[in-house]
Structure 1
Amino acid sequence: MDRGDLQRLSKDELIDLVLRMQRPDKTSRTSSKPPSTDRKARREKARPGGAKPGHEGHSRSMSEAFDELVDHRPDQCPCCLACLSCDLGAETVSAHDRIDLPEIKPFVERHRRLAVSCPSCGARVVAPVPDAAKGTPFGPRVHAMATYLKTFQALSYERLQGAFADLFGLTISQGGLMNMLRRAQRAFVSGRDAAVAALRRASVIACDETGVRIEGSNAYQWVFRCPEAVVHRAVPTRGAVVVRDLMDGHRPDVWCSDRYAAQQGHAGAHQTCLAHLARDVAYADEASEDMLPARLKLWLKRAFALADGIATFAPSTIAAKRRALERSLADILTTPTSCDLARGIQRKFERARDQLLTFAQWPGLVEATNNGCERALRPAVIQRKVTNGYRAMWAAKGEADIRTVVDTARLSPGANTFKTILKTVSA
């Protein structure tokens, strides 16, 4: 804004502009900005590193199994210098583990086709072509390792090539790595289809999306969650057509998301993510002197308390608390205010009024926030920041299929990412 624009402003507009400029910057606590953008606060009286005084110490627990046992026995008594023979009984005073990695090197299995002359007729008989001569020379574990490092550790092709050469002593060209990833991705198609089928049977679904660059253009990474599956989608659009195509006519009972319009109207009921609203309220409460944001902050605190303890409440208690929250919210939304921030928060709550307490009508099945989808999208966000996107659409879609299979497996306790990839590629 230049000097001429400032002179044309009225007194009230100028005051409003000054007040806006004095508002605090938004942080991850008061907006959807990631924590990495927050400015680290200076700690004048920060204590040195380590545990607090009086803090109970912790150490690494012993391994459940070991590969080699080494006993250390005393040879001589320090008092009388008597020899302590090995046939004397001994007790264990302490045990200690020393952990190291063995040398990792490729295991090369060479296959030779042999020809034998028949002693009866003299015909030359050649062995059939072995499977090792067909397709790639690299086995499933090499494919799984490349897929794991590229997808979940966000290594570029150059760094992936260096990791194989330095760690495993295996030289692979970047083109060979690309072909290896394309072959591995095909193994995840059946697992992806199974996850999509489970999603289309679910009664409660949550979804979210984030931006990504694909082939130099803006695109989007979507994620859909239900208790039985997690489905990732890499598509060039953010429109509702993504949801319609994936659901293929299925309409669940409840849908959970933020307030984005493309994620609305796909189920009989909707749960708006209260965490998104809480961040907006936190900023309004910090930047405004009006009491309305503070009242909404307390209202959200009561709503979160109901969501956290809903498994322990009787149905009648849940219904009573929900009615009390609805009455309190109606009173807050009808309160007049002269603060533009407070009015904006009022409008957001009013538009989502029938979507705020859906979780109380479906206790134990619907969550009050959409944090599960945000956590599922976090690796894709990190990948975008590290690599700046995908050069080809097949890479984005293939990685989405891999994340679908792995994240669905993670819904079961004890799932291991690399083992899931290895099992899928081996199959």
Structure 2
Amino acid sequence: MSLGIGGSPESTDSAIRAEDSTHLRQQLVVKEFENRLLRRQLTAQQQQIENLQARLKWYENPNTPPSKQGGAAGSPGNDDSDEEENEDQGDDAGGDADAASDSSPGRDEGHEGTTRPPPEPEETIRVDQGYCPDCEQTLSNPDSYVSRTIIDIPLPIPTTVTEYELGKHHCSCGNEVVAEHPDCPETGRFGPNIMAQTALGRFHQRLPNRKQAELFEWELDLPISHRTIYNLTKRVADRLRPAYEDVKARIRESDVVYCDETGFPVDGEQHWAWTFVTDEEVLFWVDESRGSQVLEDVLGEEFAEDSTLSCDGWSAYPSYHTKLQRCWAHLLREAEYVAERYEEAERLSEELHALHDDLTAFDEE
């Protein structure tokens, strides 16, 4: 009896099983490919999460000031942009009108106003002729006068040129001595007022050297190159170096020194601006390092053991000195940070805040 075309049932089953096996292997290859793809995506996502968590630490950690927490500042070092924008908009910025009025210019509500008294005029100019815009007549005999006192400066601002004849002496010891005058610099031809104005323009007004050169020509009718502006600034720094060293010496002898440091770009490179403060002195120090070596350079290798450093939690401070007074702002933020996460730390946070309030009230009284 014939079974028909296609062979025996056994061969047909074998062909079906082979086809199913091939199909399963194909599915397995596809699943393995999908698995590898998903693992790659998971690895990339985990890396992205780690990067975001690292960025989040800029804003959500006990050492971050409130102005930067939660990313409100946009980026580190830019925590005043929103505040400045709201101040410029005034009452139209929205929100509480009272809050807007607090930052507006002018005297506070209820504060008695004052008016600048007019200075005594050095010259009186009488103006008789007037012009009527309706009749187009020129009037020359006024019935009375209206007095207005105007304060102004002449342009260009007057400059003085002084020649100093400095006596030259030959001492009996063999030295040659030249007389000195406080208004006659040892180097260059520009006096102390111009040098001081140059330093103020560079560091207080933040004017580039070329802008200062333009300003000197406009205001003083005194052409000065931007290179000369740089040299004048350096001469001021050289003249002030002894006073700077005196401040540093007094800080080294102080019983309590407050220290802090913040990022400071110099020619696009990361530097650090250090601040050392006592009751009577303030010293700024710009350095490439944020380490304890800076503390040794400023305060000396052997800072007095009984002196106290008031500082935040940066590791450079305990590496340099053992007697530390933690900054209250950082300490309270750290206590709050821990208390929000651990119930047993709540009492510590409350006690520290109460102690701070008591000390503040005592200090105010």
TM bucket normalised to smaller: 0.5 to 0.7
> What is the rounded CA distance, in whole Å, between the counterparts of 2:256 and 2:283 in structure 1?
14
> What is the rounded CA distance, in whole Å, between the counterparts of 2:248 and 2:58 in structure 1?
41
In the superposition, relative to structure 1, how do residues 269 and 4 fare at CA in structure 2: closer, same or farther (>3 Å)? same
1:151 is displaced (CA, Å) by 1.1
Which is greater in Rg?
A: 2
- C-alpha distance after superposition, 1:347-377 (max 9, x if no partner): xxxxxxxxxxxxxxxxxxxxxxxxxxxxxxx
Q: Which residue of 1 aligns with 2:303?
A: 250
Q: Which runs of structure 2 are paired with 1:20-419 in the superposition (5 Å)?
A: 26=59, 28=67, 30=69, 34-36=78-80, 44-47=94-97, 55-56=109-110, 59-63=113-117, 66=120, 68=122, 98-109=150-161, 111=163, 135-214=187-266, 216-248=268-300, 249-251=302-304, 252-267=306-321, 269-279=323-333, 298-311=350-363
1:258 is displaced (CA, Å) by 0.8
Decide whether the 8 Å contact of 2:158 with 2:220 is kept in 1: yes
Q: What is the CA RMSD across the aligned residues, in angstroms?
A: 4.8
Matched AA of 1:208: D
Matched AA of 1:174: H
> What is the rounded CA distance, in whole Å, between the counterparts of 1:205 and 1:264 in structure 2?
14
> What is the rounded CA distance, in whole Å, between the counterparts of 1:222 and 1:139 in structure 2?
32
Gapped runs of 5+ residues in structure 2? 1-36, 60-65, 71-75, 87-91, 125-146, 166-177
Q: Which residue of 1 aligns with 2:5?
A: none
In the superposition, relative to structure 1, how do residues 228 and 111 fare at CA in structure 2: closer, same or farther (>3 Å)? closer
- C-alpha distance after superposition, 1:290-343 (max 9, x if no partner): 767876664453233123123368xxxxxxxxxxxxxxxxxxxxxxxxxxxxxx
TM-score computed with the length of structure 1 as normaliser? 0.49
Gapped runs of 5+ residues in structure 1? 71-94, 114-127, 314-427
> What is the rounded CA distance, in whole Å, between the counterparts of 1:261 and 1:24 in structure 2?
17
Q: Which residue of 2 aligns with 1:91?
A: none
1:237 is displaced (CA, Å) by 1.4
Decide whether the 8 Å contact of 1:28 with 1:38 is kept in 2: no
Matched AA of 1:236: E
SS in 2 for 1:187: helix
- C-alpha distance after superposition, 1:361-413 (max 9, x if no partner): xxxxxxxxxxxxxxxxxxxxxxxxxxxxxxxxxxxxxxxxxxxxxxxxxxxxx
1:274 is displaced (CA, Å) by 2.1
SS in 1 for 2:224: coil
1:134 is displaced (CA, Å) by 7.6
In the superposition, relative to structure 1, how do residues 294 and 24 fare at CA in structure 2: closer, same or farther (>3 Å)? farther
1:269 is displaced (CA, Å) by 2.2
TM-score computed with the length of structure 2 as normaliser? 0.57
> What is the rounded CA distance, in whole Å, between the counterparts of 1:180 and 1:159 in structure 2?
15
SS in 2 for 1:264: helix
> What is the rounded CA distance, in whole Å, between the counterparts of 1:219 and 1:259 in structure 2?
19
In the superposition, relative to structure 1, how do residues 111 and 199 fare at CA in structure 2: closer, same or farther (>3 Å)? closer
Matched AA of 2:287: V
> What is the rounded CA distance, in whole Å, between the counterparts of 1:304 and 1:213 in structure 2?
35
Decide whether the 8 Å contact of 2:261 with 2:273 is kept in 1: yes
1:244 is displaced (CA, Å) by 1.4
In the superposition, relative to structure 1, how do residues 3 and 301 fare at CA in structure 2: closer, same or farther (>3 Å)? farther
1:177 is displaced (CA, Å) by 0.5
In the superposition, relative to structure 1, how do residues 159 and 198 fare at CA in structure 2: closer, same or farther (>3 Å)? same
> What is the rounded CA distance, in whole Å, between the counterparts of 1:247 and 1:45 in structure 2?
48
SS in 2 for 1:185: helix
Matched AA of 2:281: A
In the superposition, relative to structure 1, how do residues 291 and 97 fare at CA in structure 2: closer, same or farther (>3 Å)? farther
Q: Which has the higher contact order (CA 8 A, sep 6+)?
A: 1
> What is the rounded CA distance, in whole Å, between the counterparts of 1:112 and 1:189 in structure 2?
25
Decide whether the 8 Å contact of 1:211 with 1:218 is kept in 2: yes
Q: How many residues align?
A: 266
1:64 is displaced (CA, Å) by 9.2
SS in 2 for 1:30: helix
1:236 is displaced (CA, Å) by 2.1
